[in-house]
Structure 1
Amino acid sequence: MPDEEFVSRIEALAAERPDGDAAALFERACAQDSTGHADRAVPLYRAALAAGLTGIRRRRAVIQLSSSLRNIGGAQESLRLLSAEREHPSDELDDAVAAFLALTLADLGREREALSLALSALAPHLPRYQRSVGNYGSSLTG
């Protein structure tokens, strides 16, 4: 499906929801983001969060907003958002937060911290060498 048609369909579905509906704003942001329009997605993510988006969508919105910000030159704000997000309760998106934070750190010239974070997130998923990779990751910033 062409990008324009996809966005139009999402916009039509979102229009069925009340004005200011957090979930509708989030889905609109996702459609813009996934079609390469980070600049259009950012205000929609912000609006969804301000409208009280909750649950896993809230966390996804923070991750995706941070990624979009990083892509349009807002790496410092991305760093603030993702660093704060790491303080939230743990869930299945913890590694995604770490991955996007690592990308942000690399963009900010903090490559050793980025690699440390990425290796620390990866280590628990390895079939072997978990402890070694975790220790190497920690030692990069130690």
Structure 2
Amino acid sequence: MDDWQDRVDAVWADDALDPRDVIARIDDLAGERPTDDPVALFERAGARDSAGDEDEAEVLYRHALSVGLDDERRTQATIQLASTIRNLGKTDEALEMLRIEYEREPRGPLHDAAAAFYALALVSSGQAERAASIALQALAPHLPRYTRSVTGYAREIADHLD
């Protein structure tokens, strides 16, 4: 699988390709795998998502998740699916998916990404203050100074909302 994934990664890294070329190349590579291969489905979904074919991406993300992905790709697929369905107007479902992902692993490698997309979904649902709190809590640990202050202010915003 490593060689296959390397070839997929090379397609994603090729900035000269337009989105339709990315879809075609990813589909060719996915064709080397079994029809229900979750990683191939995930890559096909991502290609369509980045090309703006969100309806097709949604179906493929859901299929990849239902077949089963490793933890890292499951998290990525969940974040990407939630972002896609938020763009399709399914804000409540996106919020729930992102809330669960955000709360799942506070120290996970994609926690900040989950926080960012959760904040975007909160804004889309009219909850800008809660979104600011989530975003600030994710940002605070990366600040060279003021981590404690920003964390405290972010919690204060959240407490004010509850």
TM-score, structure 2 normalization? 0.85
Is 2:73 the partner of 1:57?
Answer: yes
Identity over aligned pairs, percent: 49
Q: Name the structure 2 match of 1:76.
A: 92
Q: Name the structure 1 match of 2:111.
A: 94
Note the C-alpha offset of 1:103: 0.4
Structure 1 runs (4+) deviating above 6 angstroms are: none
Amino acid at match of 1:84: I
Note the C-alpha offset of 1:133: 0.7
The CA deviation string for residues 69-95 of structure 1, in whole angstroms up to 9 with x for no partner, is 111101100011111113423311000
Q: Name the structure 2 match of 1:122.
A: 139
Note the C-alpha offset of 1:19: 1.1
Q: Structure 1 stretch 88-97 or stretch 23-32: which is displaced more?
A: 88-97
SS in 2 for 1:141: helix
> Structure 2 CA distance, aligned partners of 1:127 and 1:135?
16
What are structure 2's unaligned runs of at least 5 residues? 1-16
> Structure 2 CA distance, aligned partners of 1:2 and 1:77?
31
Note the C-alpha offset of 1:14: 0.3
> Structure 1 CA distance, aligned partners of 2:137 and 2:82?
20
> Structure 2 CA distance, aligned partners of 1:76 and 1:101?
11
Do the aligned residues in 1 keep the contact of 2:130 with 2:157 (CA within 8 Å)?
yes
SS in 2 for 1:86: helix
Q: Name the structure 2 match of 1:136.
A: 153
Do the aligned residues in 1 keep the contact of 2:86 with 2:121 (CA within 8 Å)?
yes
> What RMSD over aligned residues (CA atoms) do the two structures have, in Å?
1.0
Size of the aligned set, in residue pairs, is 142
Note the C-alpha offset of 1:141: 2.0
SS in 1 for 2:52: coil
The CA deviation string for residues 93-124 of structure 1, in whole angstroms up to 9 with x for no partner, is 00000110000001000111000000011001
Do the aligned residues in 1 keep the contact of 2:58 with 2:84 (CA within 8 Å)?
yes
SS in 1 for 2:78: helix
SS in 2 for 1:140: helix
What are structure 1's unaligned runs of at least 5 residues? none
> Structure 2 CA distance, aligned partners of 1:105 and 1:66?
12
The CA deviation string for residues 45-77 of structure 1, in whole angstroms up to 9 with x for no partner, is 000000011221110000000000111101100
Q: Name the structure 1 match of 2:62.
A: 46
Amino acid at match of 1:92: P
TM-score, structure 1 normalization? 0.96
> Structure 2 CA distance, aligned partners of 1:106 and 1:87?
18
